[in-house]
């Protein structure tokens, strides 16, 4: 029974034609190496940097759960005796901020107290607060008609994604906990770690929404002077700073479709949804910089950077499951996309996906075609453009409090592209043309 849960009946080994039993990855080019930081991420200490300070992430100056939080999760957390029980409790918690804090508490207690994985059944659906109202994607207003500034609009969307990501990771832990003997402890440790990361990301988004004055949120800033005479900030929220704008439920629908299949869950969530976050992250950073919100752009950039680990975890365990079933990962992934109607959308952030170890052949059919006429220097030139853009963003962030003419990101992209790819700048060509056509002076 446990092995049957790894792949659905249509994709189980016994249902394949005999010639497929010996299929290897020879039809796909060599995959990129696994993410080099995976083991370091697994062995890293608990990350307590759940507050975004003046210079980036820093520890929060209050306990993970306080008396201001919903009392029911507090009481239940004291009796939880396994990781799966904690995960079920997180899924059953409706308050977003409490869910985020409880998620961190669950991972912390499991690590510090050596709790067992345990076995538990998840609720049919994660508990949700009355707001945001869940509607179809067509009913969500566009930025121009939302009545919100662009940074608040985009940040609320990101906060909604991160809140769903907490539930997606814990549902994976809880739902497949009965198959611990097949998957092993490492599987559940990795996805509990992912849930902890996502809870921290939601905390940053929630904090930032309050800072920019998002509707429905109130905030009290407490300044505490430390011994080194530096100030640190602690935010106390009277109510969740998330939920005043409608949102969709597409992410959870993808989770529901793969509830009976470990391989499909890995394909749907880390390899499709989380990988899509790698694609969207740089574009979201650019929009925040163009809007002039450098603090939010820094938060988004950090979140996008940490999402690489989550995709790498998905790649690792998808390869593990395919090896268990003696299946070729490349073809198995493509068949799961068709069977579960999982949609791949570009443009793809190839560099981030490569870093996470996600082979291009799995998601991009054009990558198998060789292009011998491609300029070998183009990759290096494009890398130089990205490096210059990163430098510009960093410089603007450092000088954001100074008043100076700001270079919009779109302009900087065009400028750097011209500097690299054009042989001569237009002004030099105009000067040369002027010199050759200028009339000579006569006596």
Q: What secondary structure does DSSP assign to 251-287, as a single string?
A: HHHHHHHTTT-HHHHHHHIIIIIIHHHHHHHHHHHHH
Intra-chain end-to-end CA distance of the chain, in Å? 103
Q: Is the pTM of this model over 0.75?
A: no
Q: State residue 79's pLDDT score.
A: 75
The phi-psi region of residue 428 (left if phi > 0; otherwise alpha if psi is between -120 and 50; otherwise beta) is: alpha
Please tell me the distance from the alpha carbon of residue 93 to that of residue 302, in angstroms, as a whole number.
Answer: 27
Asked if 270 and 311 count as a contact pair (C-beta separation under 8 A), the reply is: yes
Asked if 120 and 143 count as a contact pair (C-beta separation under 8 A), the reply is: no
Give average pLDDT by consecutive 10-residue segment, the chain, 443 residues: 52 34 39 86 97 94 55 67 96 94 95 95 89 74 82 92 95 97 97 98 94 54 34 37 67 81 96 95 96 97 97 98 96 96 93 96 75 44 50 48 38 45 45 47 44
Asked if 182 and 6 count as a contact pair (C-beta separation under 8 A), the reply is: yes
> Across-strand partners of 56?
53
Asked if 311 and 272 count as a contact pair (C-beta separation under 8 A), the reply is: no
Give, for 425, the enclosing helix (H) or strand (E): none
Length of the chain, please? 443
- Tell me which DSSP letter residue 386 carries: H
The phi-psi region of residue 348 (left if phi > 0; otherwise alpha if psi is between -120 and 50; otherwise beta) is: beta
* Tokens encoding 133: 């109202």
Asked if 211 and 189 count as a contact pair (C-beta separation under 8 A), the reply is: no
Q: State residue 431's pLDDT score.
A: 45
Q: State residue 357's pLDDT score.
A: 96
Q: State residue 117's pLDDT score.
A: 97
Q: State residue 379's pLDDT score.
A: 46
């Amino acid at each position: 029974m446990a092995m049957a849960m790894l792949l659905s009946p249509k994709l189980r080994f016994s249902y394949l034609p005999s010639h497929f039993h010996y299929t290897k990855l020879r039809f796909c080019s060599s995959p990129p190496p696994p993410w080099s930081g995976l083991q370091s991420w697994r062995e890293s200490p608990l990350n307590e940097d759940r507050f975004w300070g003046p210079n980036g992430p820093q520890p929060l100056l209050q306990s993970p759960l306080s008396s201001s939080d919903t009392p029911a999760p507090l009481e239940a957390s004291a009796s939880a005796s396994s990781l799966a029980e904690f995960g079920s409790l997180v899924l059953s918690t409706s308050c977003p901020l409490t869910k985020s804090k409880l998620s961190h508490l669950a991972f912390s207690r499991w690590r510090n107290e050596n709790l067992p994985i345990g076995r538990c059944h998840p609720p049919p659906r994660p508990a949700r607060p009355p707001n945001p109202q869940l509607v179809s994607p067509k009913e969500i207003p566009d930025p121009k008609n939302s009545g919100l500034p662009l940074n608040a609009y985009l940040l609320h969307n990101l906060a909604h994604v991160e809140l769903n990501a907490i539930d997606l990771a814990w549902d994976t832990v809880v739902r497949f906990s009965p198959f611990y003997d097949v998957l092993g402890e490492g599987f559940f440790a990795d996805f509990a770690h992912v849930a902890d990361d996502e809870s921290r990301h939601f905390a940053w988004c929630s904090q930032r929404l309050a800072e920019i004055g998002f509707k429905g949120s109130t905030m009290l800033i407490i300044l505490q002077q430390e011994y080194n005479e530096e100030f640190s900030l602690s935010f106390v929220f009277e109510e969740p700073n998330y939920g005043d704008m409608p949102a969709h439920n597409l992410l959870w629908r993808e989770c529901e479709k793969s509830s009976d299949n470990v391989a499909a869950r890995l394909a749907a969530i880390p390899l499709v949804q989380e990988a899509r976050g790698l694609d969207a992250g740089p574009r979201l950073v650019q929009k925040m910089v163009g809007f002039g919100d450098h603090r939010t752009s820094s938060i988004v950039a950090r979140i996008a950077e940490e999402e690489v680990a989550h995709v790498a975890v998905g790649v690792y365990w998808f390869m593990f499951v395919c090896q268990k079933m003696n299946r070729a990962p490349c073809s198995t992934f493509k068949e799961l996309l068709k069977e579960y109607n999982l949609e791949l959308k570009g443009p793809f952030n190839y560099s981030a996906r490569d870093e996470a170890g996600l082979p291009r052949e799995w998601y991009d059919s054009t990558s198998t075609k060789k292009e011998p006429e491609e300029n070998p220097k183009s990759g290096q030139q494009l890398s130089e453009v990205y490096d210059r853009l990163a430098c510009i963003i960093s410089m603007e962030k450092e000088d954001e409090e100074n008043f100076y003419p700001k270079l919009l990101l779109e302009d900087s992209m065009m400028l750097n592209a011209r500097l690299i790819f054009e042989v001569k700048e237009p002004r030099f060509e105009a000067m040369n043309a002027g010199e050759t056509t200028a009339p000579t002076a006569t006596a």
